[in-house]
A and B are shown apart, each in its own frame.
Chain A
C-alpha cells in the first residue's frame, strides 16, 4: 500500500508544526523520516494514525483519499504504530496485551501466535508475566508483535531502538526488512543516522516542520546532517579524566528488588568528581541502582552511604538524599519528573529550596526566560510541560537541575534527543557543574557511555559484571560484558 502525503499542514494555535509536507512512502519499502527533535515527525505520524487532525492537505492510501479522524479509522486501513512510549495496559499479562485488539481467536491460538512470533524475532517474552514488571523495551516488543499479528500493512516505528538492546536490534532489523519484502509499508521515525542508513530504502528529512531533503539509498551522511541541522555538529574529542576525590556514594552488600532481576551483590564506591557510566541491557539493574542512590528505592539488604551519611530505611531516605544535594532525573520525564499542565515558570518556583509564602511569578518567569535561552528550549515561560517535545522536556529538566548539586543521577539523559541536543546536554553538564560534582548516568548508547564517562559499570542480570576505567576498556569488551559474555571467551 502506497501512502501519499499531499500538502499536509498542521497548526497548534499559532504554532506551525507542519508546513506543506508532501512525499510518498512506497509499498514494500522502509521509508526513513528523520529530523531534529521537534522537527514535526511525531506530529505527522499522529496525523496518519488518526490521533490528531490535519489543518489542511490530503492523504491517499492506494490512490484513494482517506479521512483519518480517529485511531479506529486508521487501524481499519491497516495503519499501526509502534510508539516510543509503550501504549499498553501494565496490569495485564503479556498475552492479554497481545490479545487486545487482535482478531477474535481462542486463547490457545493467540498464545501459539505470540510464541511463534516471539521465536521468529528472537525476543524473550513470557506470555504469563505482568507487563508492569517488564522494561520499556520488552513492552515495545509486545506492541510490535501485536501489530504484526493484527495484519498491519502500514507500520510506523517511532524511534524503535530506543528501548531495546543492541542484540535485539540485530534481530529486529532483518525482521523489518523481511516485513518490507513481504509488501508492508514501513515508516521509520528516527534520528539515528546509522540505523536509518542500514534499514531504509528512502529517507525524507524534516526540519522545522518542512521537508528539507529527500534521498534514496545509498545515503550521503553529510547531506542528511546538513538537511537535519543546517550544519554538521562537531564531535569533540574525549576530555581529560577528572581528578578523583573522597567517596561520595558507598554501597555495601546491597540487594534490592526492581526491574527484571533486581540488584544483587552490589559493593561499590564512587568518588567525588567522577563521571560514571552505567552500561547494560535494558532492565539489567541500572535504573534500580540510580533510584537506590536517590533514596527513592529502599534496599532489602546492605547499606548505602551518601557523603558519609547512612541513608535510613524509610521514606526519609529520599529527603535526606535531596538535602545532601543529590539530584535525580528519570528517563520517563512526564511520568516521574514533570507536572503535565503546570507552566514552565511554575516549575522553577517549585524548585526553590526556601520557598516563600507568596508565589512570585515575576521571578519565576525571568528564571524561566533565562533557562529557555540558555538551553534553547522551544517554548514560552507560560507553556505547559506536557506541550513540550521530549527533547525540550529534557532540556527543561536540565535547566531545573541545581547547578550546586553534588551528585547528579541521570537515567538515560539523552533519550529521544538528536545528536546535537545530546551533545548540548553534555556540554552543559561539564561546563556548568562544578568539577567536583559526581555524575552517574545510564545510557543504552555505548558511544555516549564511552565518550563521556571516566569509569563504566556494566550491569548484567542484576549484577555489576564489569567495573573499569574507560581508558582500560574497549567498546567490544563493554558490549561483551553487557550481553553476559565472558571477555576471556572472545
Chain B
C-alpha cells in the first residue's frame, strides 16, 4: 500500500513535471493549460459525450490488443485492422437494394469484424507460416490498408465529380447511428464498447482461452508439452483483436464521420497500444485510461482556441504518461531484482 502511494505521487509528479516543462518551453501558462484541457473534456454533457465518442473506439482497440499482448504478440497492425473494418462496413453499407437500416447496419457490423479479423489473420499467417515477425507484418499491412482506403476514396468510391481527401459521399441519414438527444455519441457504440470490456474480462480472466493465451505468451516452447498449439492461439488472438478493431472502424464510419475518410482510424490503434501498456495489460484499468486519453484528445482542442497553443501538446502529454509509467515500472523492476 505504501508503495502504491509512492507510485501515485511519483507518477503524478513525473507526468505533471514533464508536461509542465514542455508547456514552459512552448511558452504557455501551465496551470491554465491543464485547466482548459480538463474543462474542454468534462465541462458539459456535449463535451463529455464527445469524449465518449473517442472513448468507444479507443476501448474497442484496447480490448483487442489485450488478447494479442496476452499471447505476447505485438499487434502494431491494429491501425490497419481499424481501417479494414471501416472498409468492410462501408462495403456492406453500399450494398444496393436493402431497405431496412437495421439489416444493413447489422451487415456493416459483421462485415467490419470480418474485415478487421481477416486483416489480423493475415498478419498471423505471415508469422506462423512465413516466419515474418508480427511487428513487420503489421506495419507492412498498415501501409497496404492506408493505400487501399486512399485508392477507394480517390477511385471507385469517390464523390461524383470530386476526388477529395474529405472522403466518400455522406451516408444516407437513416444509416447514421442514433445518439441520445443532445449527445454526440451513439448509444449502440457505448453498448458495444461496454460489452467488449465485460467479454474481454471474462475471456481473459475466467476462461481457458485466456489462460492458454497467457501460457503461450509466456513460453511457447513449453506449450507444446501441454499439447497447446501456439500457432492456433496466435491466430485466434489476432483474429479477435482484428475484429474488435474492425468494430471500432465501423463505428467511426457509422457514428462519427458518416462516411469513409482517409484518416478514418484517427490513429486510435496506436494510441490504444500506448494505453494498454500504460494499463499494464489489465482489463480493469482500460475504461478509465481510455477515458483519460479520450478526454485529453478532446480537451486539448481548447489549447488552440483559448491559449493559441498547438493541440499536438496532448500527444506530448500522452507520451509523458506512458514514459513515466514505464520509467517507474523499470525502477521498480530493477529494485526487485537487486
A–B contact, 8 Å CB criterion (strictly below): yes
Q: Does B287 contact A (CB under 8 A)?
A: no
Residue of B210, B214, B227, B338 near A339 (CB, 8 A) is B214
Chain B residue nearest to A397 (CB atoms) is: B225
Whether the Cβ atoms of B206 and A339 lie closer than 8 Å is no
Whether the Cβ atoms of B228 and A296 lie closer than 8 Å is no
B332 to chain A: which residues have CB within 8 Å? none
Which of these binds chain B: A191-199, A353-361, A482-490? Answer: A353-361
Whether the Cβ atoms of B337 and A350 lie closer than 8 Å is no
Whether the Cβ atoms of B212 and A350 lie closer than 8 Å is yes
**What's the minimum C-beta distance from A8 to chain B, rounded to whole angstroms?**
16
Whether the Cβ atoms of B338 and A358 lie closer than 8 Å is no
Instruction: Provide the B306-338 mask, 1 if CB < 8 A to any CB of A, else 0.
Output: 000000000000000000000000000000011
Most buried by A among B214, B218, B225, B226: B225
Q: Does B221 contact A (CB under 8 A)?
A: yes
Instruction: Provide the B173-214 mask, 1 if CB < 8 A to any CB of A, else 0.
Output: 000000000000000000000000000000000111111101
A352 to chain B: which residues have CB within 8 Å? 208
Using known A-B contacts A339-B218, A342-B218, A350-B212, determine if residue A328 contacts B225 with beta carbons closer than 8 Å: yes
Whether the Cβ atoms of B207 and A358 lie closer than 8 Å is yes
Can you sample 28 A-B contacts with CB below 8 Å? A51-B337, A51-B338, A52-B337, A69-B338, A318-B224, A319-B227, A327-B225, A328-B225, A329-B225, A336-B219, A336-B222, A338-B222, A339-B214, A339-B218, A341-B218, A342-B214, A349-B208, A349-B211, A350-B215, A350-B226, A352-B208, A355-B208, A355-B212, A357-B207, A357-B209, A358-B206, A359-B206, A359-B207
Taking CB atoms and an 8 Å cut-off, the chain A residues in 313-353 that contact chain B are 318-319, 322, 327-330, 335-342, 346, 349-353
Using known A-B contacts A336-B221, A338-B222, A339-B214, determine if residue A322 contacts B227 with beta carbons closer than 8 Å: yes
Q: Does A477 contact B (CB under 8 A)?
A: no
A53–B228 Cα distance when bound, in Å, is 38
Chain B residue nearest to A361 (CB atoms) is: B206
Whether the Cβ atoms of B222 and A339 lie closer than 8 Å is yes
**What's the minimum C-beta distance from A354 to chain B, rounded to whole angstroms?**
10
Whether the Cβ atoms of B208 and A335 lie closer than 8 Å is no
A70–B334 Cα distance when bound, in Å, is 10
Using known A-B contacts A328-B225, A339-B222, determine if residue A346 contacts B338 with beta carbons closer than 8 Å: no
A165–B208 Cα distance when bound, in Å, is 43
B222 to chain A: which residues have CB within 8 Å? 335-339
Beyond A52-B338, A336-B219, A349-B208, 15 extra complex contacts between A and B, CB < 8 Å:
A50-B338, A51-B338, A327-B225, A328-B225, A335-B221, A337-B222, A339-B215, A339-B222, A342-B215, A350-B212, A350-B215, A352-B208, A353-B227, A356-B208, A357-B208
A340–B206 Cα distance when bound, in Å, is 20
Residue of B211, B229, B338 near A350 (CB, 8 A) is B211
A191–B206 Cα distance when bound, in Å, is 42
A359–B214 Cα distance when bound, in Å, is 13
A residues whose Cβ falls under 8 Å from a Cβ of B: 50-53, 69-70, 296, 318-319, 322, 327-330, 335-342, 346, 349-353, 355-359
Chain A residue nearest to B227 (CB atoms) is: A322
Chain A residue nearest to B335 (CB atoms) is: A53
B residues whose Cβ falls under 8 Å from a Cβ of A: 206-212, 214-215, 218-219, 221-222, 224-229, 337-338
Chain B residue nearest to A335 (CB atoms) is: B221
Using known A-B contacts A51-B338, A322-B227, determine if residue A339 contacts B219 with beta carbons closer than 8 Å: yes
A337–B206 Cα distance when bound, in Å, is 23
A318–B214 Cα distance when bound, in Å, is 21
**What's the minimum C-beta distance from B338 to chain A, rounded to whole angstroms?**
5
A69–B229 Cα distance when bound, in Å, is 42
Chain B residue nearest to A295 (CB atoms) is: B224
Whether the Cβ atoms of B338 and A359 lie closer than 8 Å is no
Chain A residue nearest to B202 (CB atoms) is: A358
Chain A residue nearest to B231 (CB atoms) is: A315
**What's the minimum C-beta distance from B213 to chain A, rounded to whole angstroms?**
11
A69 to chain B: which residues have CB within 8 Å? 338
Tell me if A's interface is mostly helix, strand, loop or mixed. loop
Most buried by A among B210, B215, B337: B215
A34–B229 Cα distance when bound, in Å, is 41
A342–B214 Cα distance when bound, in Å, is 8
Whether the Cβ atoms of B225 and A336 lie closer than 8 Å is yes
Residue of B206, B208, B219, B337 near A338 (CB, 8 A) is B219
Most buried by A among B210, B211, B221: B211
The 5 A-B residue pairs with the shortest CB-CB distance, nearest first, are A339-B218, A322-B227, A355-B208, A359-B208, A339-B215
**What's the minimum C-beta distance from A201 to chain B, rounded to whole angstroms?**
32
**What's the minimum C-beta distance from B288 to chain A, rounded to whole angstroms?**
24
Residue of A52, A351, A358 near B226 (CB, 8 A) is A351
**What's the minimum C-beta distance from B168 to chain A, rounded to whole angstroms?**
41
A353 to chain B: which residues have CB within 8 Å? 227
A50 to chain B: which residues have CB within 8 Å? 338
A349–B205 Cα distance when bound, in Å, is 13
A296 to chain B: which residues have CB within 8 Å? 224
B338 to chain A: which residues have CB within 8 Å? 50-53, 69-70
A330–B219 Cα distance when bound, in Å, is 14
**What's the minimum C-beta distance from B201 to chain A, rounded to whole angstroms?**
13
Chain B residue nearest to A296 (CB atoms) is: B224
A335–B222 Cα distance when bound, in Å, is 7
B218 to chain A: which residues have CB within 8 Å? 339-342
Whether the Cβ atoms of A359 and B210 lie closer than 8 Å is yes
Most buried by B among A319, A337, A340: A337
A468–B305 Cα distance when bound, in Å, is 88
B212 to chain A: which residues have CB within 8 Å? 350, 355
A351 to chain B: which residues have CB within 8 Å? 226
Chain B residue nearest to A353 (CB atoms) is: B227
A340–B207 Cα distance when bound, in Å, is 20
Residue of B211, B226, B227, B337 near A359 (CB, 8 A) is B211
Using known A-B contacts A52-B338, A350-B211, A359-B210, determine if residue A340 contacts B219 with beta carbons closer than 8 Å: yes
A337–B220 Cα distance when bound, in Å, is 10
Chain B residue nearest to A339 (CB atoms) is: B218
Most buried by A among B214, B221, B338: B338
Most buried by A among B210, B214, B219, B222: B222
Chain A residue nearest to B229 (CB atoms) is: A319
A473–B207 Cα distance when bound, in Å, is 53
A352–B221 Cα distance when bound, in Å, is 18
Chain B residue nearest to A330 (CB atoms) is: B225
A352–B212 Cα distance when bound, in Å, is 11
